[in-house]
Structure formats: structure tokens, C-alpha cells
Structure 1
Amino acid sequence: MTDRILVVGAALFADGRMLAARRSAPAALAGRWELPGGKVEPGELPSQALVRELREELGVEAELLERLPGEWPLGRPGYVLQAWTAKLIASDPRPLEDHDELRWLGPSEIWTVNWLDEDRPAVSEAAARLQ
């Protein structure tokens, strides 16, 4: 049996827009868009992991607002995604790790990028809160 591995993602909001991050690695995911975040490490709470991942991947401080309902299976066995809405507290996001481009998307632009299939349900939940 595969252990459950929790991955956390953030629908980062600012000025009525949501941040999308384009993957640069691994090769199978490169060029697709996702909610930034990453794996929860042993001993970490999911919320702590997400704040840490946003700092590492984007160089920002963020405040988590609401955990989106549900969790979604990812492409690898045992991996599941939980997502939160969050607001930017400090710094402008920069693609520091695993991403090569960032885009702020307004409500009418959410589906103009090629989201990872596994992120689409979380993006839908988050987009409903952008109005």
C-alpha cells in the first residue's frame, strides 16, 4: 500500500486576481500552470508547509485565508492536493524554484492558461471566490 503524501497549493489573491505559476520541471509538467505550493514535510502542519513553500518558490510572505473544501488525487499514487486561498502580505512574487513564469489572472482570465489537470478542481473552487 502506498503512503498518503499531502501536497498543498495556494490560490494567492491580490487586487481581485489570482496567481498562476508555470512549471519548469519536471519535464512531464513543464509548460503547464498550477497553484504554487508543495509537499508537506514530516512534522509540519499543512498550513505551515504552504507558507514555507510560498516563501521558497516565490519569495513572498502570505496569509492563508480559507481551506478550500475537498482534496484531489494527483498524478502519482498516494499523492493528494489540498488548497487554500491566501493573500499576499509582503514582496512581489518571483519564480524562484520549479517555475519559469507567473501570471496574475482576473476572473475572466482564469481559464486562459493550460492548468495541470489535477489542479483544475481546486482552481474552480478558488475562482468562485474571486468575484
Structure 2
Amino acid sequence: MATIKQLQGTLKLTFGIVPIVAGLDKFTNLLTHWVDYLGNNKGMIPFDPLVFMKIVGIIEIVAGIIVLVRPLIGAYIVMIWLICIALELLVGGNYFDVAVRDLVMAVGAFTLAQLTRMETAQS
């Protein structure tokens, strides 16, 4: 049976590495063309959407690093970030499947925060 520490460690690596990879990909667009996810909201951004996505990439990289270093704080940051992305997608009227996926991932990040809190309390 997995321990709290093992479960927390798995989620910590997941929510640390995935945002870093996604953030780095904002500079290469190898996984997808990220600007497309802005949908109709491109006009609301006061500068070039490519620049905006690179800023998003930097935020994601930093969030992933925070998860790896300070998982309790980082998990909440990633959770809020994922909820914001999901809301933007829902408001934009596109990529509902991705919005649902991001909300499920936000639940996973919340779970990481709670497991980290439990693991810390036991130490």
C-alpha cells in the first residue's frame, strides 16, 4: 500500500515537471500552437499573443519549480493557475475538453497540497 509520502512524491513530480514542460513549449510550440487557445480573447490582450504566451510560459516554469521546491505553496499556485486557464477557455467558448481536463488537474493539485499538509503534520 502506498504511503502518503509516496503519493505526495508522485504528484509533486507530476505537478512540477508538467508545468515546466508546458512552459518551455510556449517558446517552441512543439506540442501545440498555444496562441490558438486564446481563441476570441486575442483581441483583449494589449500586445502580441506570441509574447503573451511566452510570459505564460515563464509563469508556468516558475510555478513548476515552486512545486518541486515548496510543494504546499506550489500546489495551490498551480491549482489556481489551472482554474484560471479553464475559466478562460470556457469564456472563450472553445476547447471545453481541455477546460474540463484542467479542472481535473486542479483537483489533483489540490490533492497534492492536502497530502503535503498531511505529510508535514506527521513529521
Verify same fold: TM over 0.5: no
Query: Between Structure 1 and Structure 2, whose CA radius of gyration is higher?
Result: 2
Normalising by the smaller structure, the TM-score range is under 0.3
Structure having the larger proportion of residues in strand = 1
